[in-house]
């Protein structure tokens, strides 16, 4: 990775109303709205999202930071912490966050994997003294191997297998780009994963088990991969299909944890899904 990309990750571009004037954006948001009209534009809320995620600020500190920054910039901001929380939640749940943009017509090669994020960020002494268990949630992601941007993600409890979360990841990614190939480790060696890719016209390239059967058994695409591995050997097969490209997702996971840490502040899977969604949006913006 070039130094320029690393430097870009340190840039917090706080632009309110990049694509349209704030007055026009507010007028568009309130058009046809039932109830009390909006006071703050979504672009302002997105700016607060970036501040919260990158600086890891709780909502009260975030509000104070935003008010002081607004005063420095020459205008008054009277937003309160509860409004910040509600608007950020609305922005995330309503799919109002900036999304990945893929060039029209470009066929994407995707890589998929999962990792754990700590829920209870207790210190070692607390865990030893009070027998506090280190809780985890599991983050499943699919990335574009060319841009390293996250195409889709899912947050589950730690007992959910990779193959079980895969259909949701594939569906999200397919709604944004045309998937040509999908690379994954042995955790995705399941008929549902192979058949899901084949249904969308994507080539599944998952590492299969050593004792995998060459019979189709409901998944012709999996049987084809098994036959190729049996014929050429696993090492040669990896070189033939370019399996080493799968490491793009490992790079993305490492970058994600380096930027946002290895834990989440949320205590439930639902809240962790919301929190990770904000982090993914910021990560894709800074990539």
Task: Determine the average pLDDT of the residues in 46-56.
Answer: 88
What token pair was written down for 287? 């990539």
Give residue-wise pLDDT tens across range 150-186. 999 999 988 899 999 999 999 999 999 999 999 999 9
How confident is the model over 211-238, as pLDDT tens digits? 888 888 889 999 999 999 999 999 999 9
Alpha helices (runs of H) in 56-210, residue ranges in sequence order: 59-73, 81-93, 124-130, 162-174, 191-199
**What pLDDT does residue 99 have?**
75
CATH number of the domain at 107-286, out of 3.40.50.300, 3.30.420.10, 3.30.70.890, 1.10.443.10?
A: 3.30.420.10
pLDDT higher than threshold 80 for residue 257: yes
From the centroid of its chain, how far is CA 155?
Answer: 9
174's torsion region: left (phi>0), alpha (psi -120 to 50) or beta? Answer: alpha
Put simply, whether the predicted model's pTM sits higher than 0.85 gets the answer: no
**Nearest alpha carbon to residue 226 among 235, 215, 242:** 215
* Cβ atoms of 186 and 163 closer than 8 Å: no
Average pLDDT over residues 26-34: 88
Coil, strand or helix: which one is 224? helix
Q: What is the pLDDT of residue 17?
A: 45
Taking the domains of the chain in order of start, what are their residue ranges? 3-93, 107-286
pLDDT band at 16; cut points 50, 70, 90: very low
């Amino acid at each position: 990775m070039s130094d320029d990309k690393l430097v870009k990750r340190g840039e917090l571009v706080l632009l309110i109303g990049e694509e349209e004037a704030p007055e026009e954006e507010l007028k568009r948001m309130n058009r046809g709205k039932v109830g009390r009209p909006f006071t703050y534009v979504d672009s302002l809320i997105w700016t607060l999202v970036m501040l919260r995620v990158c600086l890891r600020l709780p909502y009260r500190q975030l509000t104070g930071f935003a008010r002081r920054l607004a005063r420095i910039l020459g205008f008054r901001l009277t937003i309160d912490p509860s409004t910040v929380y509600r608007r950020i939640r609305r922005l995330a749940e309503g799919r109002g966050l900036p999304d990945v943009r893929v060039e029209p017509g470009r066929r994407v090669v995707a890589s998929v994997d999962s990792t754990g994020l700590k829920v209870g960020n207790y210190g070692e002494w607390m865990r030893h003294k009070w027998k506090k268990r280190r809780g985890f949630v599991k983050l499943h992601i699919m990335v574009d191997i060319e841009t390293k941007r996250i195409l889709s993600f899912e947050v589950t409890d730690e007992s959910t297998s990779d193959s079980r979360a895969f259909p949701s990841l594939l569906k999200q990614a397919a709604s944004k780009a045309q998937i040509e190939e999908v690379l994954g480790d042995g955790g995705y060696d399941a008929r549902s994963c192979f058949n899901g890719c084949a249904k969308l016209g994507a080539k599944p390239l998952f590492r299969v088990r050593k004792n995998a059967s060459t019979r189709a058994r409901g998944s012709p695409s999996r049987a084809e991969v098994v036959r190729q591995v049996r014929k050429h050997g696993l090492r040669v097969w990896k070189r033939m299909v370019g399996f080493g490209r799968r490491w793009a997702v490992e790079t993305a996971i490492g970058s994600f944890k380096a930027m946002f840490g290895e834990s989440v502040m949320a205590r439930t899977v639902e809240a962790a899904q919301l929190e990770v969604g904000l982090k993914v949006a910021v990560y894709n913006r800074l990539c």
